[in-house]
Amino acid sequence: MPRLFTEAKKRLREAASHMSVDPDVMEKLKYPKETLSASLLVRMDDGSRRCFKAWRCRYDDTRGPTKGGIRFHTNVRLEEIMTLAFWMTFKCAVANLPFGGAKGGVAVNASKLSKSELERLSRAYVKAFHSFIGPDRDIPAPDMYTNSMVMGWMEDEYSAIVDHPSPAVITGKPLELGGSEGRTDATGRGGYLVIRHLEKDFEIEPDKTSIIIQGFGNAGYNFACLMHADGYKIVGISDSRLAIYDTEGMDPHSVHNYKMKNGTLSGAPSNGTLKEMTNQELLIEACDILIPAALENQITADNASKIQARIVCELANGPVTPAADKILCENGTIVIPDILANSGGVIVSYFEWVQNKAGYYWSLAEVHSKLKERIEPEARTIWKISLEKNVDMRTAAYIHALERLSKAVTAHGTKAYFSS
């Protein structure tokens, strides 16, 4: 497998080849601005102490304080965090947020920790990174296997260190602790709004369209519920252990309730005959829209030619490799790229930060309409660029983001300015 970061930068070079970009811009975006590593020594419930590796990377802050989640996952490593921070830089530019990109993570299997151990780990993260983050410097948020509870502990720890309440240091907090209405389902809702907005352009109709969702976490689940409510048929769902598929469809609420009760998708309720399979098998099953909502590198050169979906919508970060992109594009599959498809999360994070700074809170209806107002025009612009320049939607999204980043970088002057 080629290296993640090298692969990610290919997308930038591809976009740059379709436009004129000052070399200063490419130079500035070549490497992360700063990265901090730490070892978190945490007291376990049995009295022993364990050490966890942790990172935070601020990739670029040209357009504002850096923004991005913190993930707790066994496979977290520095290169992955750097790449995710790179993607956040472009995601924030696509959504026109006044933020740069960042990411953080801890190499840990959070499901093996008790609740108290998880709290101590979350607080240890902030102790180690408190001078790196800050409401005007770098603002974390939830990501894989972190949630509003974790954000609340982190905010509390930061506020204790700086000795005053500081809700704007982190987003995705519980509502009662300065969180925003509408943040929980924002990632799934963003993907839903993009698809519904471009439905006619994609030539799809809700009651004639089937969907497979790989990954039934926050993003996948909320997306499934919104699409299901509008008449789309959910034919496949998976979690990290098992995939289920039924051409007759299933109700994502019932599947979710079943999983909560039984701890597995096996035997979940569906409308017809349920087939059980692996995650990899599910990706290549028949459907119209495929939603990778789990990990990076799921659709690769090895399985891309077997994908049957006509549309792939990336709710996960980086689920399709550049080699797979090429194959999908040749086969006429539309890929809605992560930096647009899952940008709803960071958009509502931005709303949360604005509300925290202003001390003035919005209703759920306001959040929903502001999210729609912000994401739809960006989706439309990216679609237009892809038609005009005859490029895939990912390249179009990178072109769109790079335009904004270029304007910001060159506003400080370039070689042409200083030598004239």
Contact pattern from residue 49 through residue 68 relative to ligand GLU, giving x for each residue in contact according to CB under 6 A and a dash for the rest: ------------------xx
Please give the sequence-ordered ranges of beta strands (E in DSSP) within 44-131, or none if there are none: 49-60, 66-67, 70-72, 100-106
- Kindly state the smallest distance separating residue 50's Cβ from ligand GLU, in Å: 25
Half-sphere exposure of 84 (CA within 13 A, CB side): 29
User: Is residue 19 within 8 Å of residue 333, measured between CB atoms?
Assistant: no
> Which residue among the candidates 28, 103, 173, 259 is catalytic per the annotation?
103
Reply yes or no on whether 103 is catalytic.
Answer: yes
Cβ nearer to ligand GLU, comparing 102 with 121: 102
Choose the stretch contacting ligand GLU; rule: CB under 6 A; options: 8-16, 56-64, 191-199, 345-353. Answer: 345-353
Q: Which of 94, 141, 198, 235 is the binder for ligand GLU (CB under 6 A)? A: 141
The string of DSSP letters for 228-254 reads: HHTT-EEEEEE-SS-EEEEEEEE-HHH
- Distance CA(321)–CA(135), nearest Å, equals 33
For residue 171, the 8-state DSSP code is: S
- Kindly state the smallest distance separating residue 100's Cβ from ligand GLU, in Å: 11
Q: Which of 209, 317, 321, 356 is the binder for ligand GLU (CB under 6 A)? A: 317
For residue 213, the 8-state DSSP code is: E
Closest CA to 280 of 245, 233, 311, 332: 245
Near ligand GLU in 169-228, by CB under 6 A: 171
- Kindly state the smallest distance separating residue 168's Cβ from ligand GLU, in Å: 12
- Distance CA(282)–CA(288), nearest Å, equals 13
Pairing of strands 138-139, 100-106: unpaired
Cβ nearer to ligand GLU, comparing 143 with 288: 143
69 sits near ligand GLU (criterion: CB under 6 A):
yes
- Distance CA(299)–CA(315), nearest Å, equals 13
Q: Which of 166, 342, 355, 395 is the binder for ligand GLU (CB under 6 A)? A: 342
Q: Which of 239, 345, 375, 396 is the binder for ligand GLU (CB under 6 A)? A: 345
- Kindly state the smallest distance separating residue 391's Cβ from ligand GLU, in Å: 23
Q: Which of 62, 210, 222, 349 is the binder for ligand GLU (CB under 6 A)? A: 349
H, E, C per residue of 295-350: CCCCECCCCHHHCCCCEEECCCCCCECHHHHHHHHHCCCEEECHHHHCCHHHHHHH
143 sits near ligand GLU (criterion: CB under 6 A):
yes
- Kindly state the smallest distance separating residue 33's Cβ from ligand GLU, in Å: 17
For residue 87, the 8-state DSSP code is: H
Catalytic residues: 103
**What is the binding site for ligand GLU (CB under 6 A)?**
67-69, 91, 141, 143, 171, 317, 342, 345-346, 349
